Structure 1
Amino acid sequence: MLAIDDLRLRRGQGDSAYEVRLPALRMARGDVLAVVGGSGCGKSTLLEGIGLLLKPERVRAYALGENADVAALLGRDDEPALAALRASRIGFVLQTGGLLPYLSVRENILLPRRLLSLPADGERVRHAIEVLSLGRLLEKRPAHLSIGERQRVAVVRALSHDPDVLLADEPTSALDPDNAGKLFQLFIDLARDCGLATLVVSHDWDLVRRFGLPCLEPALQPGLSTFSMRGEL
Protein backbone atom coordinates (compact mmCIF):
# COMPACT_ATOMS: atom_id res chain seq x y z
CA MET A 1 0.00 0.00 0.00
CA LEU A 2 2.70 2.51 1.04
CA ALA A 3 6.38 2.04 0.22
CA ILE A 4 8.99 4.75 0.71
CA ASP A 5 12.78 4.64 0.42
CA ASP A 6 15.29 7.35 1.33
CA LEU A 7 12.97 10.28 1.97
CA ARG A 8 14.83 13.46 3.00
CA LEU A 9 13.13 16.66 4.12
CA ARG A 10 14.60 20.00 5.10
CA ARG A 11 13.38 22.93 7.16
CA GLY A 12 15.15 26.30 7.38
CA GLN A 13 18.30 27.61 5.75
CA GLY A 14 22.00 27.90 6.61
CA ASP A 15 22.99 27.25 10.20
CA SER A 16 19.34 26.90 11.24
CA ALA A 17 18.62 24.16 8.69
CA TYR A 18 17.22 20.92 10.05
CA GLU A 19 16.95 17.66 8.08
CA VAL A 20 14.55 14.78 8.63
CA ARG A 21 15.27 11.42 7.03
CA LEU A 22 13.19 8.28 6.59
CA PRO A 23 15.41 5.47 5.25
CA ALA A 24 12.54 3.05 4.59
CA LEU A 25 8.85 2.53 5.30
CA ARG A 26 6.48 -0.27 4.32
CA MET A 27 2.80 -0.30 5.30
CA ALA A 28 -0.10 -2.52 4.27
CA ARG A 29 -3.84 -1.85 4.50
CA GLY A 30 -4.98 -1.74 8.12
CA ASP A 31 -1.50 -1.11 9.54
CA VAL A 32 -1.38 1.54 12.27
CA LEU A 33 1.99 3.06 13.12
CA ALA A 34 2.85 5.68 15.76
CA VAL A 35 5.41 8.41 15.07
CA VAL A 36 6.99 9.26 18.42
CA GLY A 37 9.76 11.48 19.75
CA GLY A 38 10.38 14.63 21.73
CA SER A 39 9.21 18.10 20.83
CA GLY A 40 11.02 19.55 17.82
CA CYS A 41 12.44 16.26 16.55
CA GLY A 42 10.64 16.50 13.19
CA LYS A 43 7.54 14.34 13.67
CA SER A 44 5.16 16.79 12.00
CA THR A 45 7.72 17.52 9.26
CA LEU A 46 7.88 13.81 8.50
CA LEU A 47 4.09 13.61 8.31
CA GLU A 48 3.97 16.60 5.95
CA GLY A 49 6.53 14.96 3.68
CA ILE A 50 4.68 11.66 3.56
CA GLY A 51 1.42 13.58 3.01
CA LEU A 52 2.92 15.52 0.06
CA LEU A 53 2.50 18.87 1.79
CA LEU A 54 6.26 19.45 1.91
CA LYS A 55 8.43 18.76 -1.13
CA PRO A 56 11.36 16.51 -0.22
CA GLU A 57 14.98 17.31 -0.88
CA ARG A 58 15.25 13.75 -2.10
CA VAL A 59 13.22 10.56 -2.34
CA ARG A 60 14.53 7.45 -4.04
CA ALA A 61 11.18 5.64 -4.17
CA TYR A 62 7.64 6.48 -3.09
CA ALA A 63 4.80 4.20 -4.18
CA LEU A 64 1.18 4.64 -3.07
CA GLY A 65 -0.94 1.63 -3.93
CA GLU A 66 -0.31 -0.32 -7.11
CA ASN A 67 -0.44 2.48 -9.67
CA ALA A 68 0.86 5.71 -8.11
CA ASP A 69 4.59 6.36 -8.58
CA VAL A 70 4.77 9.41 -6.34
CA ALA A 71 8.56 9.67 -6.65
CA ALA A 72 8.21 10.17 -10.42
CA LEU A 73 5.61 12.92 -9.90
CA LEU A 74 7.88 14.65 -7.39
CA GLY A 75 10.85 14.29 -9.73
CA ARG A 76 9.13 16.20 -12.51
CA ASP A 77 7.41 18.60 -10.09
CA ASP A 78 3.95 17.67 -11.37
CA GLU A 79 1.97 19.73 -8.84
CA PRO A 80 -1.48 19.21 -10.44
CA ALA A 81 -1.04 15.42 -10.24
CA LEU A 82 0.35 15.63 -6.70
CA ALA A 83 -2.57 17.83 -5.61
CA ALA A 84 -5.04 15.35 -7.09
CA LEU A 85 -3.27 12.53 -5.25
CA ARG A 86 -3.39 14.41 -1.95
CA ALA A 87 -7.09 15.12 -2.38
CA SER A 88 -8.15 11.62 -3.34
CA ARG A 89 -5.73 9.14 -1.73
CA ILE A 90 -4.65 10.78 1.55
CA GLY A 91 -6.70 11.83 4.58
CA PHE A 92 -5.46 14.27 7.22
CA VAL A 93 -6.51 14.72 10.86
CA LEU A 94 -5.18 18.05 12.11
CA GLN A 95 -4.20 18.67 15.73
CA THR A 96 -6.84 21.41 16.06
CA GLY A 97 -9.52 19.60 14.05
CA GLY A 98 -9.59 22.27 11.34
CA LEU A 99 -13.38 22.21 10.89
CA LEU A 100 -15.01 25.03 8.93
CA PRO A 101 -17.10 27.02 11.43
CA TYR A 102 -19.83 28.03 8.95
CA LEU A 103 -20.62 24.43 7.97
CA SER A 104 -22.61 21.89 9.96
CA VAL A 105 -21.03 18.66 11.15
CA ARG A 106 -22.65 16.82 8.24
CA GLU A 107 -21.38 19.40 5.73
CA ASN A 108 -17.86 19.31 7.18
CA ILE A 109 -17.78 15.52 6.94
CA LEU A 110 -19.05 15.44 3.36
CA LEU A 111 -16.91 18.32 2.06
CA PRO A 112 -14.05 16.10 0.79
CA ARG A 113 -16.56 13.93 -1.07
CA ARG A 114 -18.23 16.98 -2.63
CA LEU A 115 -14.88 18.35 -3.81
CA LEU A 116 -14.18 15.02 -5.54
CA SER A 117 -17.74 14.81 -6.95
CA LEU A 118 -18.42 11.62 -4.99
CA PRO A 119 -21.95 10.63 -3.92
CA ALA A 120 -22.91 12.07 -0.54
CA ASP A 121 -23.76 8.64 0.82
CA GLY A 122 -20.88 6.31 1.58
CA GLU A 123 -20.60 3.09 3.59
CA ARG A 124 -17.39 4.17 5.28
CA VAL A 125 -18.96 7.49 6.36
CA ARG A 126 -22.03 5.76 7.78
CA HIS A 127 -19.86 3.28 9.67
CA ALA A 128 -17.59 5.98 11.10
CA ILE A 129 -20.50 8.17 12.21
CA GLU A 130 -22.00 5.19 14.00
CA VAL A 131 -18.76 4.08 15.65
CA LEU A 132 -17.97 7.62 16.86
CA SER A 133 -21.58 8.31 17.97
CA LEU A 134 -21.98 11.46 15.88
CA GLY A 135 -25.51 10.91 14.57
CA ARG A 136 -27.14 13.36 16.99
CA LEU A 137 -24.59 16.07 16.17
CA LEU A 138 -24.87 16.15 12.38
CA GLU A 139 -26.85 19.39 12.13
CA LYS A 140 -24.77 21.31 14.71
CA ARG A 141 -22.00 23.80 13.95
CA PRO A 142 -18.47 23.24 15.34
CA ALA A 143 -18.89 26.10 17.85
CA HIS A 144 -21.55 24.05 19.63
CA LEU A 145 -19.35 20.98 20.03
CA SER A 146 -16.91 20.01 22.75
CA ILE A 147 -13.21 19.63 21.88
CA GLY A 148 -13.58 15.86 21.87
CA GLU A 149 -16.61 16.01 19.60
CA ARG A 150 -14.78 18.27 17.16
CA GLN A 151 -11.87 15.83 17.00
CA ARG A 152 -14.24 12.92 16.35
CA VAL A 153 -15.80 14.87 13.48
CA ALA A 154 -12.32 15.64 12.11
CA VAL A 155 -11.51 11.92 12.09
CA VAL A 156 -14.64 11.09 10.09
CA ARG A 157 -14.00 13.93 7.65
CA ALA A 158 -10.44 12.69 7.06
CA LEU A 159 -11.65 9.26 5.93
CA SER A 160 -14.94 10.26 4.31
CA HIS A 161 -13.53 10.31 0.76
CA ASP A 162 -12.19 6.73 1.03
CA PRO A 163 -8.44 7.49 1.08
CA ASP A 164 -5.76 4.80 1.16
CA VAL A 165 -3.56 6.54 3.75
CA LEU A 166 -4.63 8.36 6.93
CA LEU A 167 -2.23 10.80 8.62
CA ALA A 168 -3.01 12.24 12.05
CA ASP A 169 -0.97 14.91 13.83
CA GLU A 170 -1.50 14.70 17.62
CA PRO A 171 -5.27 14.01 17.31
CA THR A 172 -5.73 13.63 21.09
CA SER A 173 -3.40 16.36 22.39
CA ALA A 174 -6.23 18.71 23.49
CA LEU A 175 -8.12 16.01 25.41
CA ASP A 176 -7.92 14.83 29.00
CA PRO A 177 -6.31 11.38 29.50
CA ASP A 178 -9.60 9.48 29.75
CA ASN A 179 -11.13 10.96 26.60
CA ALA A 180 -7.79 10.77 24.78
CA GLY A 181 -7.68 7.03 25.41
CA LYS A 182 -11.25 6.55 24.23
CA LEU A 183 -10.74 8.54 21.02
CA PHE A 184 -7.42 6.81 20.33
CA GLN A 185 -9.11 3.41 20.60
CA LEU A 186 -11.92 4.45 18.28
CA PHE A 187 -9.44 5.98 15.85
CA ILE A 188 -7.34 2.81 15.67
CA ASP A 189 -10.40 0.57 15.35
CA LEU A 190 -11.77 2.69 12.50
CA ALA A 191 -8.45 2.74 10.67
CA ARG A 192 -8.20 -1.04 10.84
CA ASP A 193 -11.87 -1.64 9.98
CA CYS A 194 -11.55 0.61 6.91
CA GLY A 195 -8.25 -0.91 5.78
CA LEU A 196 -6.30 2.35 6.00
CA ALA A 197 -2.53 2.56 6.27
CA THR A 198 -2.39 4.96 9.23
CA LEU A 199 0.39 7.03 10.77
CA VAL A 200 -0.40 8.92 13.95
CA VAL A 201 1.99 11.42 15.52
CA SER A 202 1.83 11.35 19.31
CA HIS A 203 3.86 12.83 22.14
CA ASP A 204 1.96 10.63 24.61
CA TRP A 205 4.32 7.69 25.13
CA ASP A 206 2.02 6.06 27.70
CA LEU A 207 -0.90 6.10 25.26
CA VAL A 208 1.18 4.51 22.51
CA ARG A 209 2.43 1.85 24.93
CA ARG A 210 -1.10 1.09 26.10
CA PHE A 211 -2.21 0.25 22.57
CA GLY A 212 0.94 -1.66 21.66
CA LEU A 213 1.61 0.18 18.42
CA PRO A 214 4.82 -0.27 16.44
CA CYS A 215 6.71 3.01 16.16
CA LEU A 216 8.80 5.23 13.98
CA GLU A 217 11.32 6.79 16.36
CA PRO A 218 14.14 9.24 15.59
CA ALA A 219 17.85 8.88 16.15
CA LEU A 220 19.05 12.43 16.80
CA GLN A 221 22.20 14.17 15.63
CA PRO A 222 22.90 17.91 15.42
CA GLY A 223 20.60 19.24 12.71
CA LEU A 224 19.37 15.76 11.75
CA SER A 225 16.62 13.32 12.76
CA THR A 226 16.60 9.85 11.20
CA PHE A 227 13.32 7.96 11.75
CA SER A 228 13.50 4.17 11.84
CA MET A 229 11.06 1.38 12.62
CA ARG A 230 11.07 -0.28 15.99
CA GLY A 231 8.66 -2.55 17.78
CA GLU A 232 6.39 -1.52 20.60
CA LEU A 233 7.70 1.03 23.12
Structure 2
Amino acid sequence: MLSLRELSITRGQGAAGHAVHLPRLELATGEVMAVVGPSGCGKSTLLEAIGLLLTPTALERFTLGSERTDLTALLQARNERALAEIRSRDLGFLLQSGGLLPFLSVRDNIALPRRLLGMPIHSERVAHACDVLGLEPLLDKRPGALSIGERQRTAFVRAMAHEPRLLLADEPTAALDPQAGERLFGLIVSLVQELQMAALVVSHDLALVTHFQLPRLAATLTPGGCRFAPDT
Protein backbone atom coordinates (compact mmCIF):
# COMPACT_ATOMS: atom_id res chain seq x y z
CA MET A 1 0.00 0.00 0.00
CA LEU A 2 2.76 2.46 0.97
CA SER A 3 6.41 2.30 -0.06
CA LEU A 4 8.99 4.95 0.85
CA ARG A 5 12.74 5.20 0.28
CA GLU A 6 15.14 7.83 1.62
CA LEU A 7 12.67 10.44 2.77
CA SER A 8 14.22 13.43 4.53
CA ILE A 9 12.60 16.61 5.77
CA THR A 10 14.22 19.53 7.61
CA ARG A 11 12.45 22.11 9.74
CA GLY A 12 14.23 25.28 10.74
CA GLN A 13 17.66 26.47 9.64
CA GLY A 14 21.21 26.33 10.90
CA ALA A 15 21.70 25.34 14.52
CA ALA A 16 17.93 25.46 15.06
CA GLY A 17 17.25 23.02 12.22
CA HIS A 18 15.83 19.57 12.90
CA ALA A 19 16.22 16.89 10.24
CA VAL A 20 13.93 13.86 10.08
CA HIS A 21 15.12 10.88 8.04
CA LEU A 22 13.18 7.77 7.02
CA PRO A 23 15.45 5.41 5.05
CA ARG A 24 12.78 2.82 4.24
CA LEU A 25 9.15 2.01 4.95
CA GLU A 26 6.82 -0.65 3.58
CA LEU A 27 3.22 -0.66 4.79
CA ALA A 28 0.91 -3.41 3.59
CA THR A 29 -2.82 -3.25 2.94
CA GLY A 30 -4.69 -3.81 6.21
CA GLU A 31 -1.64 -2.98 8.35
CA VAL A 32 -1.56 -0.52 11.23
CA MET A 33 1.91 0.64 12.31
CA ALA A 34 2.66 2.69 15.42
CA VAL A 35 5.14 5.59 15.23
CA VAL A 36 6.92 5.85 18.57
CA GLY A 37 9.66 8.03 20.04
CA PRO A 38 10.39 10.77 22.58
CA SER A 39 8.52 14.08 22.55
CA GLY A 40 9.91 16.56 20.04
CA CYS A 41 11.79 13.99 17.97
CA GLY A 42 9.81 14.68 14.79
CA LYS A 43 6.94 12.18 14.77
CA SER A 44 4.37 14.78 13.71
CA THR A 45 6.77 16.17 11.10
CA LEU A 46 7.18 12.69 9.64
CA LEU A 47 3.41 12.23 9.49
CA GLU A 48 2.95 15.60 7.76
CA ALA A 49 5.61 14.72 5.18
CA ILE A 50 3.97 11.37 4.43
CA GLY A 51 0.63 13.19 4.32
CA LEU A 52 1.92 15.43 1.50
CA LEU A 53 1.73 18.55 3.65
CA LEU A 54 5.49 19.23 3.61
CA THR A 55 7.94 19.14 0.71
CA PRO A 56 10.79 16.69 1.39
CA THR A 57 14.37 17.93 1.21
CA ALA A 58 15.28 14.53 -0.24
CA LEU A 59 13.21 11.64 -1.58
CA GLU A 60 14.09 8.56 -3.62
CA ARG A 61 10.70 6.88 -3.92
CA PHE A 62 7.14 7.36 -2.68
CA THR A 63 4.35 5.12 -3.97
CA LEU A 64 0.82 4.74 -2.64
CA GLY A 65 -1.99 2.28 -3.34
CA SER A 66 -2.22 -1.22 -4.74
CA GLU A 67 -1.42 0.12 -8.22
CA ARG A 68 1.69 1.83 -6.79
CA THR A 69 0.86 5.39 -7.82
CA ASP A 70 4.22 7.21 -7.88
CA LEU A 71 4.12 10.48 -5.96
CA THR A 72 7.83 11.20 -6.16
CA ALA A 73 7.71 13.36 -9.28
CA LEU A 74 4.65 15.27 -8.02
CA LEU A 75 6.44 16.15 -4.77
CA GLN A 76 9.67 17.12 -6.49
CA ALA A 77 7.78 19.32 -8.97
CA ARG A 78 5.60 20.73 -6.16
CA ASN A 79 2.47 20.01 -8.20
CA GLU A 80 0.08 21.32 -5.55
CA ARG A 81 -3.08 20.75 -7.55
CA ALA A 82 -2.38 17.05 -8.04
CA LEU A 83 -1.15 16.64 -4.46
CA ALA A 84 -4.28 18.31 -3.07
CA GLU A 85 -6.46 15.91 -5.05
CA ILE A 86 -4.57 12.92 -3.67
CA ARG A 87 -4.78 14.28 -0.11
CA SER A 88 -8.56 14.71 -0.31
CA ARG A 89 -9.23 11.34 -1.97
CA ASP A 90 -6.60 8.91 -0.71
CA LEU A 91 -5.53 10.22 2.71
CA GLY A 92 -7.33 10.55 6.01
CA PHE A 93 -5.89 12.83 8.71
CA LEU A 94 -6.52 12.70 12.43
CA LEU A 95 -4.65 15.60 14.00
CA GLN A 96 -3.99 16.21 17.70
CA SER A 97 -6.13 19.35 17.48
CA GLY A 98 -9.02 17.46 15.91
CA GLY A 99 -9.50 20.19 13.30
CA LEU A 100 -13.31 20.10 13.36
CA LEU A 101 -15.18 23.00 11.77
CA PRO A 102 -16.89 24.86 14.65
CA PHE A 103 -19.88 26.06 12.59
CA LEU A 104 -20.88 22.53 11.51
CA SER A 105 -22.65 19.89 13.57
CA VAL A 106 -20.95 16.60 14.38
CA ARG A 107 -23.08 14.98 11.67
CA ASP A 108 -22.04 17.53 9.04
CA ASN A 109 -18.36 17.46 10.07
CA ILE A 110 -18.32 13.70 9.58
CA ALA A 111 -20.18 13.91 6.26
CA LEU A 112 -17.98 16.67 4.82
CA PRO A 113 -15.24 14.49 3.20
CA ARG A 114 -17.86 12.29 1.51
CA ARG A 115 -19.84 15.33 0.36
CA LEU A 116 -16.74 16.98 -1.15
CA LEU A 117 -15.93 13.80 -3.10
CA GLY A 118 -19.49 13.35 -4.35
CA MET A 119 -19.99 10.15 -2.35
CA PRO A 120 -23.37 9.11 -0.86
CA ILE A 121 -23.70 10.78 2.53
CA HIS A 122 -24.94 7.65 4.32
CA SER A 123 -22.42 4.93 5.09
CA GLU A 124 -23.04 1.81 7.18
CA ARG A 125 -19.39 1.81 8.25
CA VAL A 126 -19.60 5.42 9.43
CA ALA A 127 -22.80 4.64 11.31
CA HIS A 128 -21.07 1.63 12.93
CA ALA A 129 -18.10 3.77 13.99
CA CYS A 130 -20.42 6.38 15.50
CA ASP A 131 -22.22 3.67 17.42
CA VAL A 132 -19.05 2.04 18.78
CA LEU A 133 -17.63 5.42 19.87
CA GLY A 134 -20.86 6.66 21.45
CA LEU A 135 -21.40 9.55 19.04
CA GLU A 136 -25.04 8.87 18.13
CA PRO A 137 -26.47 11.22 20.83
CA LEU A 138 -24.04 13.97 19.77
CA LEU A 139 -24.68 14.13 16.02
CA ASP A 140 -26.69 17.36 16.11
CA LYS A 141 -24.32 19.18 18.47
CA ARG A 142 -21.50 21.49 17.38
CA PRO A 143 -17.87 20.91 18.41
CA GLY A 144 -17.98 23.70 21.00
CA ALA A 145 -20.54 21.70 23.00
CA LEU A 146 -18.36 18.57 23.10
CA SER A 147 -15.68 17.44 25.51
CA ILE A 148 -12.11 17.11 24.24
CA GLY A 149 -12.52 13.35 24.04
CA GLU A 150 -15.79 13.62 22.14
CA ARG A 151 -14.18 15.97 19.64
CA GLN A 152 -11.30 13.54 19.12
CA ARG A 153 -13.67 10.63 18.53
CA THR A 154 -15.62 12.73 16.04
CA ALA A 155 -12.40 13.71 14.26
CA PHE A 156 -11.48 10.04 13.86
CA VAL A 157 -14.80 9.15 12.24
CA ARG A 158 -14.44 12.12 9.89
CA ALA A 159 -10.89 11.02 8.97
CA MET A 160 -12.07 7.57 7.85
CA ALA A 161 -15.53 8.52 6.54
CA HIS A 162 -14.44 8.66 2.88
CA GLU A 163 -12.56 5.32 3.19
CA PRO A 164 -9.09 6.60 2.27
CA ARG A 165 -6.19 4.38 1.33
CA LEU A 166 -3.96 5.66 4.12
CA LEU A 167 -4.99 6.91 7.56
CA LEU A 168 -2.53 9.16 9.41
CA ALA A 169 -3.37 9.61 13.10
CA ASP A 170 -1.38 11.84 15.48
CA GLU A 171 -1.87 10.79 19.13
CA PRO A 172 -5.53 9.78 18.63
CA THR A 173 -5.97 8.61 22.25
CA ALA A 174 -4.18 11.47 24.02
CA ALA A 175 -7.43 13.09 25.17
CA LEU A 176 -9.26 9.86 25.99
CA ASP A 177 -9.59 7.82 29.15
CA PRO A 178 -8.05 4.30 29.01
CA GLN A 179 -11.32 2.54 28.17
CA ALA A 180 -12.25 4.97 25.40
CA GLY A 181 -8.67 4.86 24.08
CA GLU A 182 -8.79 1.08 23.82
CA ARG A 183 -12.15 1.24 21.98
CA LEU A 184 -10.76 3.77 19.50
CA PHE A 185 -7.56 1.80 18.91
CA GLY A 186 -9.58 -1.36 18.39
CA LEU A 187 -11.83 0.40 15.89
CA ILE A 188 -8.85 1.77 13.97
CA VAL A 189 -7.37 -1.72 13.66
CA SER A 190 -10.64 -3.38 12.65
CA LEU A 191 -11.69 -0.72 10.12
CA VAL A 192 -8.25 -0.55 8.50
CA GLN A 193 -8.47 -4.30 7.91
CA GLU A 194 -12.12 -4.24 6.81
CA LEU A 195 -11.67 -1.33 4.39
CA GLN A 196 -8.32 -2.61 3.08
CA MET A 197 -6.61 0.61 4.09
CA ALA A 198 -3.29 1.13 5.87
CA ALA A 199 -2.55 3.36 8.86
CA LEU A 200 0.31 5.09 10.64
CA VAL A 201 -0.56 6.00 14.23
CA VAL A 202 1.67 8.23 16.35
CA SER A 203 1.22 7.11 19.94
CA HIS A 204 2.82 7.64 23.34
CA ASP A 205 0.67 4.85 24.80
CA LEU A 206 3.02 1.89 24.56
CA ALA A 207 0.63 -0.27 26.57
CA LEU A 208 -2.01 0.07 23.82
CA VAL A 209 0.57 -0.45 21.08
CA THR A 210 1.70 -3.64 22.83
CA HIS A 211 -1.87 -4.79 23.55
CA PHE A 212 -2.80 -4.63 19.87
CA GLN A 213 0.58 -6.10 18.83
CA LEU A 214 1.27 -3.30 16.37
CA PRO A 215 4.57 -3.17 14.49
CA ARG A 216 6.56 -0.06 15.39
CA LEU A 217 8.37 2.63 13.45
CA ALA A 218 10.78 3.80 16.12
CA ALA A 219 12.75 7.03 16.44
CA THR A 220 16.46 7.22 17.15
CA LEU A 221 17.90 10.64 17.96
CA THR A 222 20.84 11.72 15.82
CA PRO A 223 23.02 14.86 15.82
CA GLY A 224 20.69 17.58 14.55
CA GLY A 225 17.68 15.38 14.07
CA CYS A 226 16.07 11.96 14.19
CA ARG A 227 16.04 8.73 12.20
CA PHE A 228 13.00 6.44 11.96
CA ALA A 229 13.22 2.73 11.27
CA PRO A 230 11.05 -0.38 11.86
CA ASP A 231 11.65 -1.72 15.36
CA THR A 232 12.83 -5.29 15.03
Size of the alignment, in residue pairs? 231
Bigger drift between 62-71 and 27-36 goes to: 62-71
Instruction: Please report how far the alpha carbon of residue 17 of structure 1 lies from its aligned counterpart in structure 2 after TM superposition.
Output: 1.0
Contact 2:8-2:57 within 8 A present in 1 as well: yes
Instruction: Please report how far the alpha carbon of residue 111 of structure 1 lies from its aligned counterpart in structure 2 after TM superposition.
Output: 0.8
What is the letter of the counterpart of residue 163 of structure 2?
A: D
What is the CA–CA distance in structure 1 between the aligned matches of 2:192 and 2:140, rounded to whole Å? 25
In structure 2, runs of 5+ residues without a counterpart are none
1:190-201 to 2 correspondence within 5 Å? 190-201=191-202
Which residue of the partner structure matches residue 218 of structure 1? 219
Instruction: Please report how far the alpha carbon of residue 187 of structure 1 lies from its aligned counterpart in structure 2 after TM superposition.
Output: 2.5
Cα deviation 1:29-52 (Å, max 9, x = unaligned): 210000000011110010001001
With the length of structure 2 as denominator, give the TM-score of the two structures: 0.93
What is the CA–CA distance in structure 2 between the aligned matches of 1:193 and 1:128, rounded to whole Å? 12
Bigger drift between 113-122 and 192-201 goes to: 113-122
Contact 2:37-2:220 within 8 A present in 1 as well: no
Which residue of the partner structure matches residue 155 of structure 1? 156
What is the letter of the counterpart of residue 38 of structure 1?
A: P
1:164-183 to 2 correspondence within 5 Å? 164-183=165-184
Cα deviation 1:194-224 (Å, max 9, x = unaligned): 2220000012222222222110001211112
Contact 1:3-1:27 within 8 A present in 2 as well: yes
What is the CA–CA distance in structure 2 between the aligned matches of 1:175 and 1:120, rounded to whole Å? 28
Root mean square deviation, CA, Å: 1.5
Bigger drift between 129-138 and 63-72 goes to: 129-138
What is the CA–CA distance in structure 2 between the aligned matches of 1:67 and 1:121, rounded to whole Å? 29
With over 3 angstroms needed to count, the CA separation of the structure-2 counterparts of 1:230 and 1:173, relative to structure 1, is same
With the length of structure 1 as denominator, give the TM-score of the two structures: 0.93
What is the letter of the counterpart of residue 59 of structure 1?
A: L
Cα deviation 1:142-166 (Å, max 9, x = unaligned): 2222322221111110011121000
Which residue of the partner structure matches residue 109 of structure 2? 108
Which residue of the partner structure matches residue 34 of structure 1? 34
- Percent identity, aligned pairs only? 55
Question: Secondary structure in 1 aligned to 2:156?
Answer: helix
What is the letter of the counterpart of residue 17 of structure 2?
A: A
Which residue of the partner structure matches residue 43 of structure 1? 43
In structure 1, runs of 5+ residues without a counterpart are none
Runs of 4+ in 1 over 3 A off after TM superposition: none
Instruction: Please report how far the alpha carbon of residue 132 of structure 1 lies from its aligned counterpart in structure 2 after TM superposition.
Output: 2.6
Which residue of the partner structure matches residue 58 of structure 1? 58
1:61-76 to 2 correspondence within 5 Å? 61-65=61-65, 66-76=67-77
